Structure 1
Amino acid sequence: MEAILESLGLWGATKDDRTPENDEILKQLDGGSQLMVVNCFPPCPEPDLTLGMPPHSDYGFLTLLLQDDVEGLQIQYKGEWITVEPMQNSFVVNIGDHLEIFSNGRYKSVLHRVIVNPAKLRLSVALLHSLPFDYMVRPSPKLIDDANPRRYKDTDFATFLHYISTCEPKKKNFLESRKFT
């Protein structure tokens, strides 16, 4: 996390460069939730008829994904779905919605999905790191100025749950609903 703050210009090399805001976000991440999800996608002889997981972005701060050697994860890039080639002994790091909001859009939460394989079972383990459920996520004030206006509304987990549980048709994902237009 310190490396992310440093890359945003929010964390200095010395203790004197640290701010209460940055200490607070680190404290909140320490007190946040960590969730491990094991996904099993059985082979499907007609993969065009189903998705292993529909398009979504990760709500939390950061996700680490360990994949087996079977392709399936795809990210959307410039409107096209690109397959993420599995690499042995490595993690895929997905930026979550919290980090995009906190960074005021400097980091981007990626829209992704999982497709099924016609012949092979696919396994993955996702480690999701989120801020506490009651923490109000907002852009860092130090990343807002005349050249970089505030791009996101404040949000918390209750707002997210309300959004995904309403019966209204969804024209956009949750993160898009938090952007100022």
Structure 2
Amino acid sequence: MEVFLSTRSDLKSVPDCYVLPPDKRPKQHDAPVGQAIPVIDIQNIVDPDDRAEIVQQIVKACQEFGLFQVVNHGVPGKLMDDAMSVLIDFFTKTPAEYKAQFITDARDKSCVLYTSNLIYDDHEEGIRYWRDCFIHHCYPLEDHIKNWPEDPPKYQEVIGPYSVGVRKFLMTILDLLCEGLGLEPGYFAGDHSKTQLLSVNHHIPCPDPSLTLGHAEHSDPNLIAALHQCDVPGLQTCKDGQWIGVQPIPHAFVIIPGVQFKPISNGMFSSPRHRVVANTKKHRTTLGSFLVPTDDSLTEPSKALINESNPQRYKPFTMGEFMAGWRGRLEEDVGLQRFVIE
């Protein structure tokens, strides 16, 4: 096989290294799109009445679905289009020899390209998912931009302001979540959101999507994510035991709160299980922006949510303690069980 899955145009069948065991295969790879997944307009958050309504919508969405989409978020549509275009060019037009410099198994590198020939899923060692994935640090921008690709030529010029804009937007969402959970303003502004990662997945058309996945079923261990989808469906979330597709909406972000929000909300929220399915006809690219707590950041239930009828359910823990037991865990309850107050 060639090094990059994204260089392949000759595949008539799914290579054995991508074929999942029968119990891991997507039984609903063509699951219907969930029209009920909330789409929240935050354009008028400066108006006190509108802001209160938006906070209520976000809390309800987190309780019922675990995720939601946001429109009128302040990140310019043209900048989103340019970012998507430059990252598609990185996967499809940049020479393989150039991209190869970003392949490494060192976890402390600022830019890492995970390919079909690199086993990176510790929970499924030996299984390869139908994607190439490029990840790099974004914050503080001046510390990391020098390590980013210089090909395509506009990569740094476009992804720099894009990452700044998405971070500002995510901090706004976190402020709204603070209000909904009774946390003091700016609760997430320090160590909880100190690291920002851009994680870009690129999927080529798949000869048989029933045999593999573009991304494994999982919950996010990070604080929060904003997913910028192209116009090709593929993201699915699990609700009430059924997989439903998350409709791509032009210039919208899918917001996925991470696992930490379950203990912070004292069990009110859950981080949704989600996955990516392959398709037979089109390439699919998704830009994911993640805010990641530092190892010593503390997660604990909001005191505003604890009372006699709703006692504290989780012990305080640091991100480092949480991640020490997370690797290889797909379901949030398994990773959090160590911190449940009996």
TM-score range, shorter chain: 0.7 to 0.9
Superposition deviation, residue 67 in structure 1: 0.4
TM-score by length of structure 2 reads 0.45
Give the Cα separation in 1 of the matches to 2:183 and 2:325: 31
Match of 1:28 among 183, 191, 199: 191
TM-score by length of structure 1 reads 0.81
Secondary structure at 1:75's aligned position in 2?
strand
- Name the residue aligned to 2:284: 122
Distance 1:133 1:3, change over 3 A: same
Rg larger for:
2
Q: What does the per-residue CA deviation read over 1:85-139, in whole Å, with 9 as the maximum and x for residues that have no partner?
A: 1111110001111222212122321110111111111100000112222212111
Distance 1:161 1:28, change over 3 A: closer
Answering whether residue 313 of structure 2 is matched by residue 155 of structure 1, we say: no
The residue type equivalent to 1:98 in the other structure is Q
Superposition deviation, residue 140 in structure 1: 1.8
The residue type equivalent to 1:4 in the other structure is L
RMSD of equivalent CA atoms: 2.1
The residue type equivalent to 2:310 in the other structure is N
Give the Cα separation in 2 of the matches to 1:70 and 1:88: 11
- Name the residue aligned to 1:58: 220
- Name the residue aligned to 2:229: 67
Q: Mapping of 1:162-177 within 5 angstroms?
A: 162-165=324-327, 173-177=331-335
Q: Give unmatched runs, 5+ long, in structure 2.
A: 1-173
Distance 1:165 1:61, change over 3 A: closer
The answer to whether the Cα contact below 8 Å between 1:155 and 1:178 also exists between their aligned partners in 2 is: no
Give the Cα separation in 1 of the matches to 2:276 and 2:318: 26
- Name the residue aligned to 2:336: 178
Superposition deviation, residue 158 in structure 1: 2.7
Give the Cα separation in 2 of the matches to 1:127 and 1:6: 22
Answering whether residue 173 of structure 2 is matched by residue 10 of structure 1, we say: no
Q: What does the per-residue CA deviation read over 1:149-168, in whole Å, with 9 as the maximum and x for residues that have no partner?
A: 223343333334332447xx
Q: Give unmatched runs, 5+ long, in structure 1.
A: 12-21
The answer to whether the Cα contact below 8 Å between 1:44 and 1:117 also exists between their aligned partners in 2 is: yes
- Name the residue aligned to 1:45: 207
Secondary structure at 2:296's aligned position in 1?
coil
The answer to whether the Cα contact below 8 Å between 2:181 and 2:302 also exists between their aligned partners in 1 is: no
Give the Cα separation in 2 of the matches to 1:163 and 1:37: 23
Superposition deviation, residue 28 in structure 1: 2.8
Structure with higher strand content? 1
Distance 1:154 1:10, change over 3 A: closer
The residue type equivalent to 1:143 in the other structure is L
Give the Cα separation in 2 of the matches to 1:153 and 1:174: 15
Q: Mapping of 1:108-147 within 5 angstroms?
A: 108-147=270-309
Q: Mapping of 1:81-120 within 5 angstroms?
A: 81-120=243-282
User: Following superposition, which runs of at least 4 residues in structure 1 exceed 6 angstroms of deviation?
Assistant: none
The answer to whether the Cα contact below 8 Å between 1:72 and 1:117 also exists between their aligned partners in 2 is: yes
Residues paired across the two proteins, number:
166
Secondary structure at 2:261's aligned position in 1?
helix
Superposition deviation, residue 47 in structure 1: 0.5
The answer to whether the Cα contact below 8 Å between 1:136 and 1:155 also exists between their aligned partners in 2 is: yes
The residue type equivalent to 1:177 in the other structure is G
Q: What does the per-residue CA deviation read over 1:47-77, in whole Å, with 9 as the maximum and x for residues that have no partner?
A: 1110111111111221000000111100000
Distance 1:119 1:155, change over 3 A: farther
Structure with higher helix content? 2
Secondary structure at 1:146's aligned position in 2?
coil
The answer to whether the Cα contact below 8 Å between 1:75 and 1:112 also exists between their aligned partners in 2 is: yes
- Name the residue aligned to 2:89: none
Q: Say which is worse superposed, 130-139 or 48-57, in terms of deviation.
A: 130-139
